[in-house]
Amino acid sequence: MAEAVVPLRVDGLSVVYGERPAVDRLSFTVGRGEIYGLLGSNGAGKTSTIRSIVGLVQPVGGRVEVFGLDHRTMGRRVKELIGYVPEVSLLYEALTPREFLEFVASVRRLDPKVASERARNYANAFQLVEEFDEPIVTLSNGTRQKVLLLAAFLHQPPLLVLDEPLNGLDPRSVRIMKELLARYAANGDRGVLFSTHTMEVAEQLCHRVGILDRGVLRGEGTVAALREKVRAGDASLEEVFLRLTEEREAVRAAVDALGGPE
């Protein structure tokens, strides 16, 4: 029987920088209506995985399929299906949010009325209206992040790929984003891939999580299933994460080595 078409299928993905492997034969899927959290420490390979999915990094092995379309052969069609928020908000510094979003809306061939209405709604929600005509170079990191979020939602993509999307956001915007993502996925046909190293956020938001450590997937499933896997009772996701990545003892040793305050 043929496999069901899912928003995202990553199969045996490997990424290498120079001689250093960043991602090693990684496989996972993001189903319809699902928010999938990719968790990991700094340098675990989350961003490399995400950059491979959106076509910024050329993997040395494996494949990425978005709604059944292979990124290598159907690159532009795949890009039409994805809304992406990068880890670092590197935008056209010389443009204003309005100018940047007009460019994005044009490249995505959005109807001006539809694009304007969506932009207005999101700009109001994220309190971005006052900065809409300021050059991006003058904006704070949090405001740039809001511009990127707006750009990602502008075409209401069936797959959202978000790399640390809550970075720099104020508490109000964080709450809005969480609610928004939950409702977005609840539509049933869409998928959300979400990377973070904030365990509480992942625990609240994600239907399933994948725990990445030095480029390898150490565990995957619902938080409850992962707890069961490491026999963690009702421990927090942070505890589960440390057990799966075998970092629990190392963390304790590191704290002991630091000692108390001097």
Partner 1 sequence: MSWREAARLSDVAFTELALQAIFALRQGNVLPPGPARALVPRARRRVLQSKLVIGGVLALFTLGGAYALSSAPLLHSSLAQGISSGEFRAGLLTGLFSLDVAFLWWTGMQVLPTFLAAGVFPLLETLPIDERTVARTASLLYLRLFDLPALTILVVTPLFVGLELGPLAGLAVVPGAVATVAFALALSLLTGRFFVRRVQGSRGGGGNAVVRWGYLVLWLLPAFAMFGFVIAAPGYFSLLRSIAETGSSTAGDLLFGAFPFPFAALAAITASGPDGMGLAAGGLDVLVAALGGYLALAAVAIYWVFASVRRIGLVPATGVRPLMPRAVALHSVRPAYAVLVKDLRIASRTPGYAFLILLPILDALALGLWTYASAPSATAANSLGLAAVTTSALLATFFGPAFFAIEVFAHSYARTLPLSGRSLLGGKVALVAGMYLVASAVVAGLTLPRVFDPTLFLGFIAAELPAVLAASLLELGILLRRAEARGLPITNLYAGAWIAFLVAIPGLLVASLPLVAFQLAGAWTPDLALSLMGLVALAELALAAPFAAGRERS
Interacting residues toward partner 1 by CB under 8 A? 17-19, 54-56, 58, 72, 75-77, 79-80, 82, 84, 86, 90-96, 98-99, 101-112, 115-116, 119-120, 123-124, 129-130, 132-135, 137-138, 148
Check if the beta carbon of residue 212 is closer than 8 Å to that of residue 218: yes
Cβ of residue 50: shortest distance to partner 1, in angstroms?
10
| Token pair 């990425």 in the structure block, residue | 64
Return the number of the residue (54 or 240) whose C-beta is nearest partner 1.
Answer: 54
Residue 194 has a CB neighbour count (10 Å cut-off) of 26
Return the number of the residue (108 or 178) whose C-beta is nearest partner 1.
Answer: 108
End-to-end CA distance of the chain: 65
Secondary element (H or E) of residue 98: helix 97-107
Dist CA 190 CA 170 (whole Å) = 26
Return the number of the residue (52 or 196) whose C-beta is nearest partner 1.
Answer: 52
Cβ of residue 114: shortest distance to partner 1, in angstroms?
9
Return the number of the residue (156 or 236) whose C-beta is nearest partner 1.
Answer: 156
Cβ of residue 52: shortest distance to partner 1, in angstroms?
12
Beta strands 34-40 and 191-196 are: parallel
Cβ of residue 15: shortest distance to partner 1, in angstroms?
12
Beta strands 69-70 and 61-66 are: antiparallel
